[in-house]
Amino acid sequence: MPRLLSGLQPSGQLHLGNYSGAIKQFLTLQDQGYESYVFVASYHALTSVRDPQALRANIRQVVIDYLAFGLDPAKTNIYLQHDVPAVTELAWLLGCVCPKSQMDKAVSYKDKVAKGIPASIGLYTYPVLQAADILAVEPDVVPVGEDQRQNVEIARDLAQRFNHAYGSEDNPVFKVPQVMIQPGTAVLPGLDGQKMSKSYGNTLDPFLPEKKLRKTIMKIVSDSTPVEAAKNPDTDTTFALFSALAGADDPRTLELAEKYRATDIGFGYGHAKQALFELMLEHFGPARARREELMKDPGYVEGVLRDGAEAANQAMTDVTARARAAVGL
């Protein structure tokens, strides 16, 4: 059975970008029979969250939201990064074969610093920790959004460097996984048209109360093309969000594109935003209801995490022993 590994940071409320870039793929793959490991990247969130209470709340919320979106603990092991100590040990071993120049080239660091996240050593070296997260469970595939492609490439490169330094062709220490990015899923824009990101304050949260959800959608940036003029769907943020959620080839998306281009039906951006609002309510209706139930059942959530940590620690045992032995420890 092929194995997948991925994770999200509890650096804030999950958003439509996380869903369409990452979580949607986890759901498809778990139902295709992948043995799935999906974790909450609590150590990574320390690069941007300095409030312990907020971090604790975010971690819990991410787990609840994974379950609400449809991750099934019978098929997907859900665990917290800080419950699997092997990853921090492997991060050190991998860091010792990682040239500094490789971190200098990582674009995510520059993007995050440009957006005001403190330029800490943790942030600078986070792709090494991410490589350890990945390599520790020996996955076949790592499903992520387009913005994470480079980081998974770094993990692949570090695995190869380590294998070259310490392993042999026949007996590699680390398995080299494949990155998996849903074709046609670009980096989803946020309310302001920049990359939707928890730490940029431009997100669309599928779990917002109905009124707030509508109000937030109405804030999405648009240009000043008047109602009666034709508009270009391909450059509009509302259309990009609609298309990501419904699917680019979905009849509803094609119909919406037609309305953008029409000049005789009085179709404005407000109408497109209303269509997105209705689609969000329809698409996430079951998840919104499940989330309400899960919020009332902390015992269930704790149990899921206990089982997930046990499975993940078990999955990491052999590779950690191999890596230690390989370096001479």
- Residues lying near ligand AQP in the complex (CB under 6 A) are found at 8-9, 11, 17-18, 20-22, 41, 48, 144-145, 147-148, 187-188, 195-199
Residue closer to ligand AQP by CB (options 109, 267) is 109
Q: In whole angstroms, what is the distance from residue 24 CA to residue 245 CA?
A: 10
24 — alpha (psi -120 to 50), left (phi > 0) or beta?
Answer: alpha
Q: How far is CA 51 from the centre of its chain?
A: 22
Beta bridge partners of 289: none
Min separation Cβ 21 and ligand AQP, Å: 2
Min separation Cβ 257 and ligand AQP, Å: 20
Q: In whole angstroms, what is the distance from residue 253 CA to residue 124 CA?
A: 40
Min separation Cβ 71 and ligand AQP, Å: 14
Min separation Cβ 211 and ligand AQP, Å: 24
Residue closer to ligand AQP by CB (options 190, 233) is 190
Residue closer to ligand AQP by CB (options 194, 225) is 194
Q: In whole angstroms, what is the distance from residue 241 CA to residue 275 CA?
A: 11
CA atoms within 13 A on the CB side of 227: 6
Residue closer to ligand AQP by CB (options 139, 268) is 139
Q: In whole angstroms, what is the distance from residue 179 CA to residue 265 CA?
A: 44
Residue closer to ligand AQP by CB (options 41, 280) is 41
Q: Which residue is nearest to ligand AQP (CB)?
A: 21
User: Burial code of 76-103, b = ≥16 C-beta within 10 A, e = fewer?
Assistant: bbbbbbbbbebbebbbebbeebbeeeeb
> Under a CB-based contact definition with an 8 Å cutoff, are residues 206 and 288 in contact?
yes
> Under a CB-based contact definition with an 8 Å cutoff, are residues 65 and 295 in contact?
no
> What amino acid positions are annotated as catalytic residues?
112, 195, 198
Residue closer to ligand AQP by CB (options 77, 148) is 148
- CB count in 10 Å sphere of residue 251: 9
Q: In whole angstroms, what is the distance from residue 69 CA to residue 194 CA?
A: 25
Min separation Cβ 142 and ligand AQP, Å: 9
Helix axes 149-166, 107-114, angle to 10 degrees: 140
Beta bridge partners of 3: 35
Min separation Cβ 230 and ligand AQP, Å: 28
